Structure 1
Amino acid sequence: MSTERIHQALATLTDPNANRPLPELADIDIQEGQPTHITITLPYAAEQYARGLAMLVESHLDSQIDGLDAKVTVKCDVKAVNLRDSVPGMNGVKNIIAVASGKGGVGKSTTAVNLALALKAEGARVGILDADIYGPSVATMLGVKEGTRPKTKDEKFFLPIEAHGLQSMSMAYLVTEKTPMVWRGPMVSGALQQLLTQTLWDDLDYLVIDMPPGTGDIQLTLSQKVPVSGAVIVTTPQDIALLDAQKGIEMFRKVNIPVLGVVENMAMHVCSNCGHVEHIFGEGGGARLSTDYDVDLLESLPLDIAIRTQTDGGEPTVVAEPDGEVTAHYLSLARKTGAVLALQGVDEGPEISME
């Protein structure tokens, strides 16, 4: 049996997340008198998907090549993408994913939290940073008790607070819920830099940053000071949200941060009684946006009351219903985001103009 013959059989299979033929991801070890060992290495977190893929490949090879005794192993190896030379890396963090929206009310924070939990469910080490200084909500969504404060090390660094297996940091851990953040822009940017640079993240594959809505100081601070690997834009299908999402895409491109794709939230509502699907906020908006800007439509998420109640209660959907249909959407989002990120080459671009 030749390596070439196995490559030919594998060539008919494509990894749908990375959109790459499997031979590009496969290492074939042929030893005479021994089973043929095939190792497929996915460059993103996909532990749950990997189990099924190994069985699929073994079955496919059995049907394509008579007499082949193949043992297929699928593993995940998350590496850091190429970072911009002008922005130093962050200790303990391989990849940084900014989850952003052009406007509030589109479910950005809910998406960020469930994306982080889904990446963890796929076997990655994940942290989440709440960059919404004025209105931090991640702590509540993760069920962290009010009054929880991070421990410090060497009177200089914060230790992230763990919740549902995620390492987390938020302004909510440093102030009370009744403390309004009446700050001007430079103070907000300074607070964010402190959270970023003085948190001791522990060997993360992905750090998900829940961005505040809009295109202001915090977004510029991130682009200048943090090696963001890519941005995910959350929108709803309605026209006004799509217009604001376009501004978000343009902003990230202007500061040389790759846009990994678009998440269309509240895309459809499925009636719990009859199963009728209704597009309350419009239909196809996310697909049009992804086509117009040549980015991936990473996932279309349903409008489901359980998503809200579970997240408000501190048990986000991925934790509350790990085998549920909605969680399957978030797991798909995590795999596609990780795959697109792994294929990104971040080239050093022009300096950001502040004029």
Structure 2
Amino acid sequence: MSHRALNNFDILLEIFEKIFTHTFIDRDERRTLARSARVCRSFSEPALRVLWRTLDGLNPACRLLITLKIFNINQSRYRNTTEEGFSALLPSEIPQQAWARFQQYASYVRTVRGVVEQSYSSIWIALASHIGNQPLFPCLQSITLGMCSSSCTKMLCFIAPSLDSLTICAESCGDQSLETFLDAVSIISPNAVWTLTTASPSLFHRVEFGRFSALRKMEVGFSSHAPDLFKKLSRLDYLNELVISHGDGMVPQIGRGCFAALQKIEILIHTGDPLPELLTNFSFPQLHSAHIAIGGPSDIAANRRILDRLCSGSPLLCIFMLHYEQWEATEHPLMELLEPLLALGE
């Protein structure tokens, strides 16, 4: 087998990658990379590849569009410009050299960590409409999108075939628009794994999430206004991880079921209410990890009974974390909450 000899580019790229292996590159490290990119031509591209690989947000890319004069607008004003305004600022033909330079930088981006809000994405939506159906960041692997209007399909400009992790923050999306968006993502990025975050449980009454096997993690606000939410979630056959934030009173028991694929659950109770009673009506045959946090004093006996049922319905449970804020003395010792865990070793 023949082996390719390393050249200067390979060696420099390896050095920069070894130096900046942190998940979160801090400001000083970014400054060092930027200075390295200005040393000489040989340093420029390998340093830029590492510098642009992970972005905290899309502001650097927006500033690049303005610096290259693809958009002729003051940097301090671009957040207040509408999609129509950006469209008017685009030249009929984008200068080829400027566009090639932007595409070079855009191809380096693999991860965008911050939430890309739809309300601040007018510049990208206008640009995508101008250049046609091609991904703005062609090698993107991970992004979080904040959906906030009925036209969320416009956010497809951020979806690339290379995507393997997509987080969707959906609040006031139009039902049909969101479902159309998810259908399109399934086609464009068939290997992507999705996380859905929402504080609007009513979304599950309007969108058929069970059709999408890529949806593996759910973060949802759980309230007395959606007593059948747990039943709907149990029908998501591919769901591996569930985070429930609960904070406005007791939830009536409605429905029974089984979370067939769920491996990890996290329940956050922000008030002094006990755990949701309807946990006793569901089984978790694949559950490996449970994290429960109760943010105020509540009935330990009721919580113990619910935890006992959760443990007995989860034969594979091996990791259990409990955070309980006991603000005042109660009749039952706190250790009673841990008694269900004794059954795990039997």
TM class by shorter chain equals under 0.3
TM-score by length of 1: 0.27
The structure with higher relative contact order (CA 8 Å, sep 6+) is 1
**Per residue, is there more strand in 1 or in 2?**
1
TM-score by length of 2: 0.28
**Per residue, is there more helix in 1 or in 2?**
2
Larger radius of gyration: 2
